[in-house]
Structure 1
Amino acid sequence: MTLCVTDLAVARGGVPVLDGVSFAIEPGAALILRGPNGAGKTTLLRCIAGLQPPLSGQIDGADETIAYAGHADGLKAMLSVRENLTFWAQVFGQRDITEALAAYDLEPLQDRLAGTLSAGQKRRLGLARLMVTGRPIWVLDEPTVSLDAAAVGLFAAAVTAHLGAGGMALIATHIDLGLKAHSFDITPFRAKPSQRSGASDEAFL
């Protein structure tokens, strides 16, 4: 299975931001999205993850295969670390959370309520959710926000293991994660100021 994006155009608030985006990711590979703030990385990732429709173009290989991690950690504050992971594992038809707890050094925190965690701990727990989805494609928007250097290393190790098992990753980030990955700069695909469309994604914002 390959994730293929072909001639994709996406909009933010009804205004086109990217046009003609094409790339492919093979099993075992990662692609790093580059581009300045506001260029459209988040909008592109949300579109690929199925959270908003494209203006045009095609996305192949994404149906029921993507686990998305955006700026929100997606945690239930009154559930413990273990209960949060168990909840998400059950949502995706999985059971074992042991590997996810270990990968992000969450075992000592597993009985803590998510609402009492620090920002970095919450981020680690939010990223650990990816490991209990059983989905092969990880789509990640600035995943290292709030992480210290040690936690960034844990994240990079988790992604490397995922790729080694035949998974794929599409990551928007400004930092060097130390991953063996190709980079894709979206700057050349920014829509021209004169482009307008009647389509709107406002219902998805």
Structure 2
Amino acid sequence: MIDALNIADLSVSRGDRRLFHKLFLDVRAGEAVALTGGNGAGKTSLLRAIAGFIRPDGGQIDFVSNSVRLEADEARRQGLHLLGHLEGLKPARTALQELSFQCRYLGGNESQMAKAIEGFQLAPLLDLETRRLSAGQRRRLSLARLVSAPRPLWLLDEPLAPLDSVWRQRAGDQMQAHLAAGGMIIAAVHDPLPFAARAFDLGGFA
């Protein structure tokens, strides 16, 4: 299981524009990092580079377990979740069908899915097609996938944006439970997370 992430001397560009250069970031089990910086600073690009969807211009991204560096592709396949701006839900599937599919695909089980349904209070929504859900309900369903198939590293892009104040706090409680179990979170944010997190400003790496 991934228990540390070490990023060293990382540089990423988009087109002809360099987003950040010589970036260093270490994250340990039980730690949350809130990525800050203005629009275009590279918050989303950093998450996607960690997840392996963007090839950096230079530098190193290492996933570590018990002080041993893991093979990166395998660590990504088995050890992280990426939740972006788009929910990635099939509109004609019911919430139950979507969550069940994602749980199986990502290696979860029925017990974990039941825990996710309870934690995000999805029971009244399970028979509804995802296209009929509100933005906040769709985000709750997407966050539930993280709980239904536990993986140590959560990469979250504005995870609380569509949620009201009550659900921001409840989602924050689920994130804190993940950290308490030894998980890690890196979240791109504009607004503060509803729990203590280490701020990391990308503005100084352009």
TM-score, structure 1 normalization: 0.89
TM-score, structure 2 normalization: 0.88
- Secondary structure (helix, strand or coil) at the match of 1:74 reads coil
Matching of residues 14-29 of structure 1 within 5 Å:
14-29=16-31
- Secondary structure (helix, strand or coil) at the match of 2:54 reads coil
Q: Which residue of 2 aligns with 1:3?
A: 5
Pairing 1:74–2:74 present = no
Could you list the per-position Cα deviations for residues 147-205 of structure 1 after superposition, in whole angstroms to 9, with x for gaps in the alignment?
11111112101100100111000001111222121111111101xxxxxxxxxxxxxxx
Aligned partners of 1:29 and 1:168 also within 8 Å: yes
Pairing 1:135–2:169 present = no
Gaps of 5+ in 1: 191-205
Gaps of 5+ in 2: 64-71
Equivalent-residue separation in structure 1 for 2:23 and 2:196 (angstroms): 22
Equivalent-residue separation in structure 1 for 2:151 and 2:119 (angstroms): 17
Residue 134 of structure 1: how far off its partner (Å): 2.1
Aligned partners of 2:109 and 2:149 also within 8 Å: no
Counterpart amino acid of residue 150 in structure 1: V
Pairing 1:111–2:127 present = yes
Equivalent-residue separation in structure 2 for 1:14 and 1:154 (angstroms): 41
- Secondary structure (helix, strand or coil) at the match of 1:78 reads coil
Q: Which residue of 1 aligns with 2:41?
A: 39
Pairing 1:87–2:89 present = no
Aligned partners of 2:114 and 2:148 also within 8 Å: no
Q: Which residue of 1 aligns with 2:182?
A: 166
Count of matched residue pairs: 190
Residue 14 of structure 1: how far off its partner (Å): 4.5
Equivalent-residue separation in structure 2 for 1:184 and 1:148 (angstroms): 25
Equivalent-residue separation in structure 1 for 2:16 and 2:80 (angstroms): 25
Bigger share in helix: 2
Match of 2:193 among 152, 159, 177: 177
Aligned partners of 2:81 and 2:154 also within 8 Å: yes
Pairing 1:144–2:146 present = no
Kindly report the root-mean-square deviation, in angstroms, between the aligned alpha carbons of the 2 structures: 1.2
Q: Which residue of 1 aligns with 2:54?
A: 52
Structure 1 segments of 4 or more deviating over 6 A?
Answer: none
Give the % identical residues.
40
